[in-house]
Amino acid sequence: MIQGAGSNVGKSLVVAGLCRAALRRGLSVAPFKPQNMSNNAAVTMDGGEIGRAQALQALACGLAPSVHMNPVLLKPESDQGSQVIVQGKRLATVRARDYAALKPQLMTSVLDSFQRLAAQHDIIVVEGAGSPAEVNLRAGDIANMGFARAADVPVVLVGDIDRGGVIAQMIGTQAVLHPDDATMIKGYLINKFRGDATLFAEGDRLIAARTGWPGFGVLPYFPEAHRLPAEDALDIPARQGTGAFRIAVPVLSRIANFDDLDPLAQEPGVSLTMVRGGEPLPDCDLVILPGSKSTRGDLAYLRAQGWDIDLKAHHRRGGRILGICGGYQMLGRSISDPDGIEGPPGETAGLGYLDIATVMTGDKRLTRVTARHVASGQTIEGYEIHIGRSAGADCDRPFALLHDQPEGACSPDARVQGTYLHGMFAADAFRTAFLRAHGAAPSALAYGAGVETSLDLLADHLETHLDVAGLLALAR
């Protein structure tokens, strides 16, 4: 089990790299994360949802994603409440203070999923969540030491030297842990080093001497990390690419499934700007309104930033707009939530660029799909993950056809388009056709092949700088 001395220390990439390294050794390997908190979800073949990081790790293992790889997924809907997904399906929406009461029930599901995977594979590489040093959350823990002890899984602690204070991260973690938890840690590694690693040799010796843990290596910063899907929107650089075709994406407060943007960011003819709160939408060719876990709440957030005014100016200048999922719903005339599924019951006026109205309903659509893009005729491979149904006159001009049924909507002049389809830009032929139709220069980017190459490079990186054989040998 890979645990972190803090959040965002690189656990997900280390696990992905170890998974690919184990696969290349001829082992049957699977990833596992007991509990994840993310609005960047992936849809499994059986219609469940898991964290996007576990879907990437499954790819590193040569496997299709399974709900058992991430049995508990928390999807924040507000600052104080999250939707709880258990083995792929929604269980409830709970406030943070009430979540602890669910944990005994959730541990049963976590151990069930872990045992199912363990029965099928030679080795499971487990990822913790946050840090075991958050001892105020230790009671009933299912994400870190609570799981490690329940499943008797040895732990390796990862520290992030890039943010500074890594010696204190490691020694301090041991100091605050209960002794029984601390005995589960069988070693450590240092991640995100930049520069001459020999300069850290004395620090490495100090950590080993003070903790009694063996070190498994110092891992330099992995330069290809940006080519792999990020789990946190804050990990996405503000600007990517220097191409002539300019795309702007407002970063909503509950932005979801933002890995939709990854293939676009890697297009050589594109420059993509992630616009943070308080910043204006820049001059651009295309604005993409992304998915959201709380559509009405994020529409209010969008207006609070003044982005609705910027969007009106962009549209008046002849700019194009694409809404995906929640962003699609925002582009309509109204969003109604009569039963309070995403928040307080009520109705919110939309931005009014599409003649559609959306009603939130209790049934959640979770499915992988193959569709045909109407304008180009290209095939789209993607997935749907949303609540709400949208209907209106502009649906007569669909974005795509799904089993010969219309999907999405377009304005009469086609400058505003909306769709519920996630993951569509990973399809090279569709992405090329879409960009060409919007005036961007085409390229030969093979996105999926690039992700596979990056995973191999990540495994090479770990093999070069870490004792990978020693890490895998820890497995019980």
Structure tokens at 108: 């049963």
DSSP letter for each residue of 335-389: EEETT-SSSSSEEEE---SSS-EEE--SPPEEEEEEEEETTT--EEEEEEEE--E
CA distance 339 to 445: 44
Name the strand (E) or helix (H) holding 182. Answer: helix 179-182
Nearest one of 248, 242, 235, 294 to 56, comparing CA atoms: 235
If one counts every other C-beta atom within 10 angstroms of the C-beta of residue 124, the result is 23
If one counts every other C-beta atom within 10 angstroms of the C-beta of residue 449, the result is 10
CA distance to 134, 323, 424, per residue, from 258 (Å): 28, 12, 12
CA distance 129 to 75: 14
Name the strand (E) or helix (H) holding 334. Answer: strand 334-337
Catalytic residue ranges: 325, 422
Determine what percent of the chain falls in helix, strand and coil, rounding each to the nearest 5: 35, 30, 35
Nearest one of 92, 50, 45 to 68, comparing CA atoms: 50
Spatial contact of 348 and 335, defined as CB atoms under 8 Å apart: yes
CA distance 294 to 308: 17
Spatial contact of 407 and 398, defined as CB atoms under 8 Å apart: yes
Parallel, antiparallel or unpaired: strands 416-419 and 320-324? parallel
Spatial contact of 353 and 416, defined as CB atoms under 8 Å apart: yes
Spatial contact of 55 and 42, defined as CB atoms under 8 Å apart: yes
For residue 94, list its beta bridge partners.
Answer: 82
Distance from the Cα of residue 248 to its chain's centroid: 19
CA distance to 191, 222, 224, per residue, from 454 (Å): 18, 10, 6
